Amino acid sequence: MKYLLEVSYTGDLLAHRRCPRAWAYEKHAQFQPYEQAQAMEGRLVHHAMEWLTQKFDPSSGSHATAAQLRDQLLHYFRVLWARGLRTAFQSKQVTIDRVVDNLFPGELMHPTVKTAIEGAKHTEYELRTVRKLVRTDFAGKTRMVLTGVLDLVLQSTYPLVYPRLWAWSALDELVGEVTVESVASHPGDLEIWDYKGTRAATSHVRDYVIQLLTYAGLYGERVGELPARCVLFFVNEPKREEQLVAIEIDPDIVQRAEAWTIAEAKRVRQTMLRFEQDPCAVDGGDLDAASMPVGARVDAELKKQCTACGQRFDCQEYIAHLGGPGHPDIDLINVTKN
């Protein structure tokens, strides 16, 4: 539809924030990347959690075992590999072992994983997709449909204590940080959890927090009740006390998060129009670092994406970041890499 802008929270909005140039080629112009190093582990983590939740039998309380999960992930790894997803780690076995060991340390199910699986609202899988139609001016589009996928809606049966809390330092700019402050849930609290395949120290925590707050608002519009809190679960974080971050919810902060999200969707639309006029006009690098000099807009986290990016060979940002042409990463005839 000519008047409708379709925006997926993860695939468009967050990917655009990581790098508008990669987003424009891959998502907007549909240049399929020949490999996606970063996506592999996140997909395995999500699949593992989903599969474990399906395998849980609430009547007997039985769970799948670590060996069964390992077997399942081996199958799923082959599916992802065939779709062009790759891993930054040494081998299939190392990658799968990392995921299984994080979920089943010492072959026993991690207590947080157990809590998430047992508390999942099994009857409400139809609520996994949240959606919102926004009517405003998106430069030639008068409506936007925003979609997101909820990893887990949890209704706790017993109190949980989260050792980390997101605290706002400047509410107007939606700036805050993870603090070492514990928060306890109450039985019956409704929570939205999001599984992340990265470490807890990721530079994208703020984006993830606003994403979850927006999902909370969309979920609330759908069911008529805001969740009590949202929780980021960094599944691959080795320090257990840093794995969970609680985000308390109130209607004001949810409204601010939704406004931020709409503003970001407008930036996506602007990139879209610029790219359609001149693909070379869209620069690579983190959107928040756009005012930095060329070569300084790639941080350690984005670099993991750049090293496998299909657009890296002529990306002025990445070439400058690597110190100029000649680096093996951007050598077209480096067959050992490509």
Minimum gap (Å) between residue 319 Cβ and ligand SF4? 9
By CB under 6 A, tell whether 227 contacts ligand SF4: no
The site map against ligand SF4 for 304-333 (x = CB under 6 A) is -xx--x-xx--x-xx---------------
| Non-local CB neighbours of 99 within 8 Å, separated by 6+ positions | 41, 44, 45, 48, 73, 235, 236
Angle at CA of residue 204, ends 28 and 220, nearest 5°: 80
- Residues binding ligand SF4: number (CB under 6 A): 14
| CB-CB contact of 184 with 192 (8 Å) | no
Pairwise CA distance, residues 172 & 240, whole Å:
32
Window of 19-27, 57-65, 154-162, 270-278 that interacts with ligand SF4 by CB under 6 A: 19-27
Which H or E run contains 267? Answer: helix 251-277
How far apart are the C-alpha atoms of 243 and 113, rounded to whole Å? 11
* Listed residue (235, 174, 331, 173) closest to 41, CA to CA: 235
Q: Which is nearer to ligand SF4, 151 or 286 (CB)?
A: 286
Nearer to ligand SF4, 256 or 312 (CB): 312
Binding ligand SF4 (rule: CB under 6 A), the pick from 22, 152, 190, 213 is 22
> By 3-state DSSP, what share of the chain in percent is helix, strand and coil, each rounded to 5?
45, 20, 35
* 196 forms part of the interface with ligand SF4 (CB under 6 A): no
Q: Is 182 helix (H, G, I), strand (E, B) or coil?
A: coil
DSSP 58: T
- Asked if residue 284 binds ligand SF4 (CB under 6 A), the reply is yes
Nearer to ligand SF4, 117 or 302 (CB): 302
* Residue 96 vs 298, nearer CB to ligand SF4: 298
Give the range of 45-53, 128-136, 225-233, 303-311 binding ligand SF4 by CB under 6 A. 303-311
CB of 39 to ligand SF4, least distance (A): 13
Residue 295 beta carbon to ligand SF4: minimum distance, rounded to whole angstroms: 10
No. of H helices and E strands in the chain?
10, 11
275 near ligand SF4, judged by CB under 6 A: no
The owner of tokens 């069911």 is: 223
By beta-carbon proximity to ligand SF4, the closer residue of 19 and 144 is 19
Cβ atoms of residues 214 and 194 within 8 Å: no
Q: How far is the CB of 281 from ligand SF4 (least distance, A)?
A: 13
Residue located via tokens 């514990």: 182
Q: How far is the CB of 125 from ligand SF4 (least distance, A)?
A: 34
Point out which residues bind ligand SF4 (CB under 6 A).
19, 21-22, 284-285, 298, 305-306, 309, 311-312, 315, 317-318
